Each structure stands twice: as C-alpha cells, then as structure tokens.
Structure 1
Amino acid sequence: MAEAAKQIEMPVGVVVRKTPGVTRWARWNWRAVAVLPGAPPADWVELRREGDAVEYHAATLRLKLWSDETEAYMANLSDSQPSLYLVLRDDAEGDRPLNAFLITASPYEGQDYADTGEEIVEKIPMTEGLIAWVRDFTLAHRHDEVFVKRRRDKKRVDLVEDGKGDARIRQTSDVYRAPRRAVQ
C-alpha cells in the first residue's frame, strides 16, 4: 500500500464583500463571505455590485493541509459549521485595500494570527466539497497517541536536607534561628 502524501494543497478563491461603514471612523466595512475551491488566480476582480455593496474575488490562495495538523482539522470538522480562516493584512501603501495573506483549515493557526492583533482573521464557512476533502485527508493521516502513564522513579529525595536553614549556623538543634552577632 502506498503511503499517503504528508501534505496536499488546493487553490481556493476568496470572496470579500465591501459595504459602507456604519460609523464615521470606518468608511468601509470589509468582510470575507465565501470561498471558491479550485479558482483561477485573481487580484481584486469585481464579481457583483448591489448599490453600495460590492463583492470581489480578492485573491486565490493555496489551502495546504499537513499530516501533523490532523487534531486541529478534527476540531474544526466537529464544529457546527466547519470553516476556513482567512488572514488579511491592512495594505495602506498599496493599491489593494487589504492583502489576503493566508487561508487555513486549522482553527489553532487562525487563533494564533488573531492573537497578534495586527491581522484581520475572518471565518468563512466551508463548502460541502471542502468539508469532504479535509475530512478524507484527516482520516487518512489521523493517529491517536496512546496514553503512557509516567512511572515514578524509586529515588528517596527526603533523606538529604540540603539547603535547609542557615548554613552559617553550626549546631543542628535549631536550624531556623537567626545567627547572632559576636559580642566583644
């Protein structure tokens, strides 16, 4: 039997919706709304316009699945709505409003990027085909770790009293008393 690949990848297009902001501080509200599995390369191609709301095919990123991340994928698949996590960076000096940086199926990796506070992490629901693709890869590579109880060693650590009391006191009667100053 041939060994399954340790990593697989698929191009995934990301659809981002731009709507007018609701406060005076945010002129526009950007939100990732859908994914397009197997999409061709794109760079902020307008898909649909409804009044002020515009949907863009913002980018096509490589969704990579790794064999050592199957625990994270299982946690994602067990959620009520399995999702992909899109990491966006604010690209102030470029001509794009946001830079689509990474897409992942690992909720742990998405959380890591969200913790920094420098990137925007959007949760996008997976399509049925993507759910099946991630599930098949995860089941092919998943292996539960066997619990091994740690055994204690038989060394007696209570027999030696190193570091107990003040080393400047020579007597063993009261090791906790403070040393006295010699009277002259």
Structure 2
Amino acid sequence: MAVHHIAIGVVVAKKKLSNPWVDHEWAPAAVLPGVPAVEPWTFIGREGETESWYAGPAELSFHSGETAHYRDNLVSGRPSIWVALREDAEGRWQVAAVTADPYEGEAFVDTVTDRVEAVPMPHEVMVELSAFFEAHHVEEPFFKRKRDRQDPDSMGSRGIGQPGKFRRDPGPGDGQ
C-alpha cells in the first residue's frame, strides 16, 4: 500500500467567551501548506476578540487504500482537512491528529474531549491530494450478491398436516 506524507502547519483560534465558568476556548482554524519557520505556539494576530496562534507542525498522510474517501472530499464542494486538538496533562492544547479522509475526520469526534474542526484545504495540499488520487486510485466494481437457488426437490417433505409440525395444534381457550 502506497503512503504519501505532507508536512503542514496548524493554526488555532483562541476565542473569548461570555461564560461565567470559562473565559475562552481553543479551536482549529486553518492549516498551512508546509511548515513555517516559527516556533509552535507563536502568536499570529488578533481580529476582534479572537486571537490566532500557530499551534505547530503536523504530518498529513495519504494512503492508497483510502483514495475513494479522498475523492469524496475533493468533489464535496468544500475540500477540507480535519484537525483534532487535545488538551495535555498541563492544560495545554496540542495537535492530536490531522486527516484528509472525511470518514476518519468524522470518527475524530468520538473522543469527546478533543476539539475537532474541518478547516478549508489549502490549494497546494489539494493539488498533492489530487495527484495522489490519480496515481493510486483503482475503481472497485460493485457486485451485487445473488442468493443461492435452492432445489425444491432437495428440501424433502415439509410435514405439513402432520401433528406437531409447522401447524399450531389447538390449545386451551381456542374454542375447542
């Protein structure tokens, strides 16, 4: 099975909340094609009450067995990368996983403590994913299963009409 890896950078947003128990939340916001030459958790900028931070690098892997899933992502109208953030023991958020497989991305939400978002796929990543798809996709034909035909003569006598076989004997309360 062919595998292709791409290094990407992950940008997260720190959003101020109007909540008496929590003052902010972190959420994946974007991915960058390639890894920038800055340290993880570098402040990028602020827009209103939302701060952008470079969370760090991640490795995006393409697997030849999943090309049909990648095709579904590419033709969806909004190709995306799913990013999962996970809080570590010290209370810092880390990039837990990234994927271009929409079904794997959907499975990320099964870990309820992770913050998962589908962010837009950068054009450069889309080009690499399309090239990987073209090089490795093999269309699997659909075969409808057919039931085995049973030979009526091989079934033997069903015993219809014999007491205790396939018919209900009258019981108490049946009016007899």
TM-score range normalised by the length of the shorter chain? 0.7 to 0.9
The residue that corresponds to 2:131 in the other structure is: 136
Alpha-carbon contact 1:42-1:60 (below 8 Å) kept: no
Alpha-carbon contact 2:7-2:59 (below 8 Å) kept: yes
> Which whole-Å CA distance do the structure 2 matches of 1:122 and 1:150 have between them?
38
The residue that corresponds to 1:32 in the other structure is: 28
What's the CA shift for 1:95? 5.0
Structure 2, unaligned runs of 5 or more: none
> Which whole-Å CA distance do the structure 2 matches of 1:106 and 1:63 have between them?
10
Residue of 171, 174, 178 corresponding to 2:163: 171
The code of the aligned residue for 1:62 comes to E
Instruction: Indicate the RMSD between aligned Cα atoms, in angstroms.
Output: 2.9
Runs of 4+ in 1 over 3 A off after TM superposition: 49-53, 170-175
> Which whole-Å CA distance do the structure 2 matches of 1:174 and 1:151 have between them?
28
The residue that corresponds to 1:58 in the other structure is: 55
Structure 1, unaligned runs of 5 or more: none
Percent identity for Structure 1 against Structure 2: 31
1:34-183 pair list within 5 angstroms: 34-40=30-36, 42-49=39-46, 52-91=49-88, 93-94=89-90, 96=92, 98-156=93-151, 159-160=155-156, 171=163, 175-177=167-169
> Which whole-Å CA distance do the structure 1 matches of 2:113 and 2:91 have between them?
19
The code of the aligned residue for 2:130 comes to R
What's the CA shift for 1:132? 0.9
Alpha-carbon contact 1:73-1:134 (below 8 Å) kept: yes
